[in-house]
């Protein structure tokens, strides 16, 4: 598919230069597409860790600002350059402008799915379902940055809107969509794959969104803590 060669090239480069981590519980990876991978964000490292680690091609959701030449510099300045690179406002915007000239063409070439706000969000869902129908795996980081960080898990609570994909995909195809939890541990440089959580089309849609959201959030918490415990105990724990 379009962008595959670029995707795998960048994955190898990022793994070598930035991530260099380990993928745990490979046996839980899907045997067929499409699926939706759900992960904690781990600041800027989460997307790098997942694309570097997974042996399957994924198509990430990205904030629409990230693929807009007018909006990207300010978004990068506020979300990445200043808080994570600790570069002063005197230089941060200039660096953000330069970075956006590289990042936007790459994200567009890799067929990332923009996440729009307000009424335009329906286009995000439309693109996502088309990708799934074509057999493409999605990658979503559903943390709500407006909520308080849980210091134990290094995560904020999830939005639940992504779970709508289950009902929309079933309505379109009459097939069950599976959501795969991933936990990124930035300190230990590990990604752990959890068992899938499948959409249930035979229950109330609103309750099912809540169930999927909470089940994935709880599972990722457990996967993250297991990495912590293994690091402390020095031995791998059973899956």
* Assigned token pair, 93: 């915007």
Q: What is the CATH number of domain 4-64+112-233?
A: 3.40.1130.10
pTM metric for this prediction: 0.91
CA distances from 69 to 95, 101, 111 (A): 14, 8, 16
DSSP code of residue 150: B
Is the bond into 61 cis (omega within 30 degrees of 0)? no
Residue 238 pLDDT > 80? no
Helix (H) or strand (E) holding 114: strand 113-115
What CA–CA distance (Å, rounded) separates 186 from 194? Answer: 17
Residue listed under structure tokens 């989460």: 46
Q: Where are the domains of the chain?
A: 4-64+112-233
What CA–CA distance (Å, rounded) separates 50 from 187? Answer: 15
Greater model confidence, 140 or 65: 140
Residue 76 pLDDT > 90? no
Residue 237 pLDDT > 70? no
Q: Phi and psi for 237 in degrees, rounded to 5? A: -95, 155
pLDDT in tens, 82-121: 887 788 888 888 998 998 898 888 888 889 999 998 889 9
CA 6 to chain centroid, in Å, comes to: 19
* Assigned token pair, 83: 């808080």
112 CB contacts (<8 Å, ≥6 apart)? 59, 60, 61, 62, 66, 67
What CA–CA distance (Å, rounded) separates 78 from 126? Answer: 29
pLDDT in tens, 95-105: 989 988 988 88
229 within 8 A of 191, measured Cβ to Cβ: no
Question: What is the Cα Rg of the chain in Å?
Answer: 18
What CA–CA distance (Å, rounded) separates 116 from 206? Answer: 22
What CA–CA distance (Å, rounded) separates 239 from 42? Answer: 22
Q: Exposure pattern of 34-45 as b/e (b: 16+ CB <10 Å)?
A: bbbbbbbbbeeb
Residue listed under structure tokens 């060669």: 5
Greater model confidence, 45 or 164: 164
């Amino acid at each position: 598919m379009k962008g595959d060669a670029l995707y795998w090239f960048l994955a190898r480069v990022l793994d070598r230069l930035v991530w260099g981590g380990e993928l745990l519980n490979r046996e839980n990876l899907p045997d067929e597409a499409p699926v939706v991978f759900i992960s904690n964000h781990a600041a800027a490292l989460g997307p790098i860790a997942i694309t570097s680690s997974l042996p399957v091609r994924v198509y990430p959701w990205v904030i629409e600002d990230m693929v807009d030449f007018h909006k990207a510099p300010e978004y990068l300045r506020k979300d990445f350059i200043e808080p994570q690179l600790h570069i002063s406002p005197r230089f941060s915007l200039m660096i953000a402008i330069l970075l956006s000239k590289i990042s936007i063409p790459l994200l567009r070439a890799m067929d990332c799915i923009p996440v729009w706000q307000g009424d335009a969000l329906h286009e995000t869902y439309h693109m996502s379902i088309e990708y799934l129908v074509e057999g493409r795996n999605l990658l979503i980081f559903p943390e709500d940055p407006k909520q308080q960080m849980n210091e134990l898990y290094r995560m904020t609570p999830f939005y639940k809107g992504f779970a709508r994909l289950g009902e929309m995909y079933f309505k379109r195809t009459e097939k069950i969509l599976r959501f795969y939890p991933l936990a990124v541990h930035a300190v230990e440089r590990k990604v752990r794959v959890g068992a899938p959580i499948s959409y249930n089309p035979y229950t109330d849609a609103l309750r099912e969104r809540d169930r999927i959201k909470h089940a994935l959030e709880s599972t990722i918490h457990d996967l993250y803590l297991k990495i912590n415990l293994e690091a402390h105990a020095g031995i791998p724990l059973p899956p």
